Structure 1
Amino acid sequence: MSGDTVQIPDDRAFLNFKSECNSKEGWNLTYDKSGITVWVQILEEEKSLHKIKCRIVNKDVSAETMYDVLHDIEYRKKWDANVIETFDIGKLTVNADVGYYSWRCPPPLKDRDVITLRSWLPMGSDYIIMNYSVKHSKYPPKKDKVRAVSIQTGYLIQSNGPTSCTLTYLAQVDPRGSLPKWVVNKSSKYLAPKAMKKINKACLKYHEWKRRHNPRYKPWLYPEQNSLPSIPLSELSIQHADSLENIDESGLSEAKEERGECSDEEAN
C-alpha cells in the first residue's frame, strides 16, 4: 500500500504472502523445539521494528479446523486469555472485512489495540488469512491503550493430510511505544511458541465447543450468513505509525511476574 489509499488484497498479494512464509532468506532462527520454529528479522534496531515468523506442525488438527478456529472470534474470546475486546466493524467484500482487536500486554507495558482490514482466501488445500492496519473515524485511538500498527500480519495454513496441517504465522508490526529489546527477545523465544501451542490446544476442543454454539454459523465459509453492514473503502485510510502518539517504553525493565502476552498482533 502507498500513501493513504486502502486496497483490498488481490491474488498476487496472497501469493506474495505465501512466498514470504515459505522463504528462508534473511531470517534468523531463534527457536526450534517440539515441532515449533521461530525466525526473526530485525528491521530497525533503534525502533524495535522487526518481523517474526513462527511455524508449528499440528499432527492432530486438520487445515479446515485450523481455518475455522482462526476465524471464529466468539471462540477466540473463549480460549485466548489475552483478548480484551474484539469485534467486526463491517464487511468490504465476500472475503474482506474491518475489525477491532485489543489485547493485554505483560506489565509494565501498556495494553495495545488495532483496527485492521482482514482478508482471507482458500488456495487449493491451503488457506491464508492476513491483515493490515487502517483508520476509521468512528474508532480513534483510546486513552488507555497504545494503538499498534500491523504493517502486514497473517497466517498460512498448509494441509498435510486429512488430520494434519502446518501453521505459519508471519507478522510485521509496529507496536509503537519504543519497546525495549527484552520484549522483542521474549516474543521470539517464549511468547510466540507459547501462543502457537495455545492455538493447537484450542483446535482440539473446537468441534465440541462449536457443536453447542451456533454450529452452522461460519460466515467465512458461507458469505450469505454475513450480516455485517457494508463499509465503503472511502471511509478508510491507511494507519501510518508516525501519525500516532509515541509512548516511550524503551526504559522499562522486565517484570518478574508473567501476566498475559504482548504478541505481535493477531490476525484476528
Structure 2
Amino acid sequence: MSGQAVTIPDDRAFASFKAECLCEEGWSMTYNKRAVTVWSQDLEEGKSVHKMKCRMICKDVSAETMYDVLHDIEYRRKWDTNVIETFDIGKLTVNADVGYYSWSCPKPLRNRDVITLRSWLPIGKDYIIMNYSVKHAKYPPKQDMVRAVSIQTGYMVQSQGSNHCILTYLAQVDPRGSLPKWVVKRSSHLLAPRAMRKINKACLKYLEWKQKHNPGLKPWLYPEQTTLPSIPLSELSIQHAESLENIDESSLGAGGVGSDYL
C-alpha cells in the first residue's frame, strides 16, 4: 500500500495480490523440496525491504481448514511457538480488522512486533488474507522491541479438491534493525519452509481442537459473531518505515539464529 491515507482493499487489490502470488516472472527460486517452493527478489541496494514468496502443496488439508487455521487467533496462540502476544484491536468492516502481533527472535536479535490492517475475501473456492502496516495512537512502538513494517503480506489458499489445497505466502516486509544479509537469506532458504510445514501440521490437529473450543465460533465466516469494537479509519495512518528507529543489527554473527515464523 502506498500514500498516506489508510484504505480498505477493494476487489482490484485482491485481484492484484492473487496475480502476484501466481506470477513467477522476476522471482528467483531459492528452495524446492518436499512440496515446498520458495522464491525471493533481490534486495535493492541500500534498501532493507525483503520480498519473498513461499508455496506449499498440502495433500491432506482442505482449503476451508487452512483458511480457518490462518484466521483463528486462539488456535494460533497454541501452535505458533514464536508468538509473544497477539490480539485483535478492532473491526473496520465485515472483512477487515486491525490487530497486533509480536514474536520472539533468537538472541542477539531484538524481538519484533507489528500492527496491521488485515482484510480477507473468499473468491470462489479460494481464499485470500492480506495485510499492511498501520499506526494507531494507542499502540506506539515499544522500547524493548523493533517494530517491523509489512508493506504487503498475506496468504492465498487454493482449493484442489475435498482434502487438498495449495498455500501461497507472499511477503513484502521491512524488518527494520539493519539486519545482515545472511539473516534475510536464511529466512528464505530455511525458516520459511519450516514455518509453512508448521502451519500444515497445525491444520491436521485443528478439527479435533476446534470441537473442544467454541466449535461454532468463526467470526471470519460469520461476521455477526464478532464482539470487536468498531474503529474509524480516521484513527489509523500508514506506518512508514522511515519514521521508525532503525536498530543496527548488521554486525551479528551467523550462529544461533533459527526462528521460524511467518
Q: Match of 2:179?
A: 179
What is the alpha-carbon distance in structure 2 between the residues aligned to residue 250 and residue 45 of structure 1? 15
Q: Match of 2:17?
A: 17
The aligned amino acid for 2:69 is V
Q: Match of 1:201?
A: 201
Residues 98-247 of structure 1 aligned to structure 2 (within 5 Å): 98-247=98-247
Q: Match of 2:49?
A: 49
Identity %: 75
- Structure-1-length-normalised TM-score: 0.96
Q: Which runs of 5+ in 1 are unaligned?
A: none
1:256 CA displacement: 3.1
The aligned amino acid for 1:24 is E
SS at match of 2:190: helix
SS at match of 2:160: strand
Measured against aligned partners, the alpha-carbon deviations of 1:190-212 in whole angstroms (never above 9, x if no partner) come to 00000000000000000000000
SS at match of 2:188: helix
SS at match of 1:119: strand
**RMSD, aligned α-carbons:** 1.0
What is the alpha-carbon distance in structure 1 between the residues aligned to residue 173 and residue 16 of structure 2? 18
The aligned amino acid for 2:101 is Y
SS at match of 2:193: helix
Note if contact 1:55-1:168 (Cα within 8 Å) is conserved in structure 2: yes
1:102 CA displacement: 0.2
Note if contact 1:79-1:202 (Cα within 8 Å) is conserved in structure 2: yes
Q: Which runs of 5+ in 2 are unaligned?
A: none
2:98 paired with 1:93: no
Distance verdict in 2 for CA 1:122–1:257, change over 3 Å: closer
Q: Match of 1:28?
A: 28
Measured against aligned partners, the alpha-carbon deviations of 1:88-116 in whole angstroms (never above 9, x if no partner) come to 00000000000000001122210000000
1:46 CA displacement: 3.4
Mean CA deviation greater in 120-129 or 248-257: 248-257
Note if contact 2:100-2:113 (Cα within 8 Å) is conserved in structure 1: yes
Q: Match of 2:67?
A: 67
